[in-house]
Structure 1
Amino acid sequence: MANIQMYVHAITIDPDTNTPIVILKEVDGDRTLPIWIGLLEATAIATEMEKIEFSRPMTHDLIINLLNAIGAEVLKIEVSDLKDNTYFALITLKYGEKEAKVDARPSDAVAIALRAGAQIFVNESVIRQVRSFDGQGSLKRSAGQKSWDEILNELDPKDFKYKM
Structure 2
Amino acid sequence: MAIEVQVVALMQEEEGKSAVVVLRAVEGEETLPIQIGFAEASAIAVALHGVKFERPMTHDLLLSVLESLGGHLEKVEVTDLRDGTFYGLLFVRKGRGVIKIDTRPSDAIALALRAKAPIYVAEEVFRKVEPHDITEASRKHWLNFLQALEGLGEKNEEID
- What is the root-mean-square deviation of aligned Cα atoms in Å? 2.0
Contact 1:14-1:21 at 8 Å conserved across structures: yes
Specify the SS of the correspondent of 2:21: strand
Structure 2: segments with no counterpart, 5+ residues: 150-160
Identity of aligned residues (%): 41
AA matched with 1:54:
F
The alpha-carbon distance between structure 1 residues 86 and 162, as it changes in their structure 2 partners (threshold 3 A), is: farther
Contact 1:10-1:162 at 8 Å conserved across structures: no
For residues 65 and 112 of structure 1, what CA distance do their matches in structure 2 show? 10
Query: 1:95 aligns to what?
Result: 94
Report how many aligned residue pairs link the two structures.
145
Query: 1:85 aligns to what?
Result: 84
Query: 1:41 aligns to what?
Result: 40
Contact 2:12-2:141 at 8 Å conserved across structures: no
1:161 aligns with 2:143: yes
The alpha-carbon distance between structure 1 residues 29 and 161, as it changes in their structure 2 partners (threshold 3 A), is: farther
Contact 1:10-1:161 at 8 Å conserved across structures: no
Return the offset for 1:24.
Answer: 0.5
Return the offset for 1:72.
Answer: 0.7
Query: 1:127 aligns to what?
Result: 126
Return the offset for 1:111.
Answer: 0.4
Return the offset for 1:50.
Answer: 1.0
Hey, which bits of structure 1, 4+ residues long, moved more than 2 A? 157-162
Return the offset for 1:161.
Answer: 3.4
For residues 127 and 85 of structure 2, what CA distance do their matches in structure 1 show? 15
Query: 2:70 aligns to what?
Result: 71
Structure 1: segments with no counterpart, 5+ residues: 140-147
CA deviations on 1:51-86 (whole Å, 9 max, x unpaired) are: 111110011000111112122100110000000000
TM-score, L = length of structure 2: 0.83
AA matched with 1:116:
A
Contact 1:11-1:162 at 8 Å conserved across structures: no
